[in-house]
Chain A
């Protein structure tokens, strides 16, 4: 069929849909060649409208029965809220269970280490005391003295001990101090071994040894690894033995006496 101009085509549709007979007559009076087209479309529109189901039921509409299979097209806001709460609860529960199940880390025990106080008179120029070195004993005497060592120490924080002995060799007292404190006491050759009596309470091993050293002529040197080396306090130029070359600092008593273990004033 020959295509009509859009305006004419639209006009014909409007006429046949409105169904105004007079308007159609006027249109055909103006466009008589459109008579068949108008008739064809009128028939089509009429047929379409007649095809509409009549108030399709003669009786009352069937009762309404909700169709259960009809799914929600879109969840309500409440669904989203509930879903969010459930997810949040699951997250919290998961975190809690994981936190409880994980093995707790054992906190490392805090080891209190007694740091020897620096003597400002001694270290003002040299700084902190140098780490004590192993004494070189050089030529050993006929006694074949070897450093007397107690059993291997267990490094632990120095604790105050109490020791009371009426009369015992000095080296025995060292052993007792070592046993009591858990430290290792190494006695250098040449350390005197007189019979002594001691009575100390609530003092650390190093404090006890220092006090004993001032009285009995030796110096305790804390190695920092749970061991203390006892070295004799040597008088200047009087000993025939090899002097252990130990960088050490004079004891407080010596300082007061104006002496130093190195033989220099």
Chain B
């Protein structure tokens, strides 16, 4: 998608226009194209594969209903990621109350069961201890490799604010990862 944008041709905009004109298959193409990315974002924030799968369906439901409101001032992917982050954080906060009494090791163990064996358990544990907002920043920067500009657009904030938030989230993660006292 990024290479297409740099080439001056925005495939996503074309698909959006087609969908708004009544071509339902265009939405299917967008869905297939961005499913993995949205799933990764939801998975990183929610830390649960099943919850992430549900969140992805909800995200694309919102996109399907409100695509007419996409103002095209930003890229479609940025708009999509914003919805994905917001929805995932909402779900994470909603589920936080349900999981409050769940042992952290149990939660980490569940994550580990879903992850490949090469995953560092310390990484998993540190990630689980972060807030959903911090996890969102980590995921957008390290998993989706978005620039600070794109992260700012996805979070609907300024670039400097995004930079500050990212640095703080990363520092908190580092402290948790290395086991240092706050």
Contact = CB atoms under 8 A, between A and B. Distances in A.
Contacts of B65: 66, 70, 72
Contact of B142 (A1, A41, A43, A45): A45
Nearest to B170: A13
A46 B122 CA distance: 12
A205 B114 CA distance: 115
Nearest to A43: B120
B32 A60 contact: yes
Interface in B100-143: 115-116, 118-120, 122-124, 127, 138-139, 142-143
Contact of A61 (B36, B66, B116, B122): B36
Given A56-B39, A67-B58, A49 B178 contact: no
Contact of A64 (B28, B123, B138, B170): B28
B84 to A, nearest CB: 13
A70 B65 CA distance: 10
Contact of B127 (A49, A51, A66): A51
A5 interface: no
B60 interface: yes
Interface centre among A49, A62, A64, A73 (most CB of B within 10 A): A64
Contact of B120 (A13, A40, A51, A72): A51
A55 to B, nearest CB: 5
B178 to A, nearest CB: 7
Nearest to B124: A51
B94 to A, nearest CB: 12
A200 B170 CA distance: 118
B16 interface: no
B118 A65 contact: no
Contacts of B62: 70, 73
Contacts of B170: 13
B119 A47 contact: yes
Contacts of B64: 64, 66
Contact of A53 (B40, B54, B60): B40
Interface string B52-96: 011001101110111000000000000000000000000000000
B36 A57 contact: yes
Contact of A56 (B31, B43, B174): B43
Interface centre among A13, A52, A66 (most CB of B within 10 A): A52
B123 A51 contact: yes
Given A47-B122, A47-B123, A64-B31, A56 B40 contact: yes
Of all A-B residue pairs in the complex, the 7 with the closest CB atoms, nearest first, are A61-B35, A47-B120, A47-B123, A52-B143, A67-B61, A66-B61, A67-B58
Given A40-B178, A51-B124, A53-B40, 13 more contacts: A44-B123, A44-B178, A47-B119, A47-B120, A51-B120, A52-B142, A53-B49, A54-B116, A55-B36, A60-B32, A64-B60, A66-B61, A70-B65
